Amino acid sequence: MALPNLVLIGTFTYWPLINNIYYSTLDWTLGSASATVVGLQNYVTFFTSEDAAKVLGTTGIFTLITVGGSMVLGLLVALALNSKVRGTTFARSAVFAPYVLSGVGVGLVWLFIFDPGYGVLAWILRGLGQQSPQWINDPQLSLVMVIIVYVWKNLGYCAVVYLAGLQSLPRDVMEAAALDGANGVRRFFHISLPLLSPTTFFLLITTMLSSLQAFDLIRIMTPLGNGTSTLIYEAYLQAFGAYNRAGYSAAISVILFAVLLVITVLQLRFVERKVHYS
């Protein structure tokens, strides 16, 4: 019964992975009928290049801020949505909606907002007598721009998952803490947050893997990767940009796979120890 699924997984997941590892050992120009085996030279070229530190640093900054921002803001939004007030159903739908929207559409809309010439934000700033920052042309601001949009798009996912976790907390424990005189802040940090550790652990893994593989927003908002070249986008630029270095791009993809694997193993090995399953 499991054979069809195993065949599909092997065909579309593991076989491409094995092929990509093989391609990473080639000096191959995309579209060329021939390639030269160079062994580990593509990996040596990447780690000894001037761009390696910049690409790895950009990947680390993007991942750290987007994961932390999405989870912290998502938890705060979940706490607000967990209140018994009118309109929470509509608010939950509105918060979650950006997550299911197309990344291409979201990127185009926000690109119009951030455009320093005719964007909505530039128009508002001009009305206040201020000049709009060069979000698109400045490499540092480009990264900030993409991070803001990515967090906005994905915090709804974290909020919904955290909301489910909050609603599953045992009410008798919370009521007992309230009767003992614990205020809302103490109940949150000493009871709710520890009990939410399985939810936090789940979100930490899923959001980190998602951030490391973020592509659509970066592609739409910064096509040239000006200050936003993460590992996955650098692999795209090397293969399909002006370089057409398919073998070198495959090596970067293997490096990204190794990073994802190591992070996941470390989280399962060490972070899960601090998770309190009820």
* pLDDT at residue 225 tops 90: no
Question: How does DSSP classify residue 26?
Answer: E
At residue 87, the pLDDT reads 76
At residue 232, the pLDDT reads 94
Number of domains within the chain: 1
Question: How does DSSP classify residue 272?
Answer: G
Residue 231, domain member (yes or no): yes
SS3 29: strand
Nearest to 103 by CA among 204, 224, 201, 215: 215
Total-model pTM: 0.90
pLDDT in tens, 39-74: 999 999 999 998 899 999 999 999 999 999 999 999
Q: Are 154 and 66 in contact (CB under 8 A)?
A: yes
Give residue 177's domain range.
52-272
Residue 24, domain member (yes or no): no
At residue 106, the pLDDT reads 92
Residue 184, domain member (yes or no): yes
Q: Are 24 and 39 in contact (CB under 8 A)?
A: no
Residue 101, domain member (yes or no): yes
Alpha helices in 31-134 (DSSP H): 41-48, 51-81, 88-100, 103-114, 120-127
Q: How far apart are CA 103 and CA 213, in angstroms?
A: 13
Residue 12, domain member (yes or no): no
Residue 40, domain member (yes or no): no
> What is the domain-level CATH number for residue 236?
1.10.3720.10
SS3 215: coil
At residue 5, the pLDDT reads 93
Taking phi over 0 as left and psi of -120 to 50 as alpha, with beta for the rest, 225 belongs to: left
Residue 93, domain member (yes or no): yes
Q: Residues, the chain, total?
A: 278
* pLDDT at residue 34 tops 80: yes
Q: Which backbone phi and psi does 276 adopt, to 5 degrees?
A: -105, 100
Nearest to 60 by CA among 264, 259, 268: 259
* pLDDT at residue 223 tops 70: yes
Concatenating the DSSP letter of every residue in 32-57 gives -S--EE-TTHHHHHHHHSTHHHHHHH
At residue 93, the pLDDT reads 87
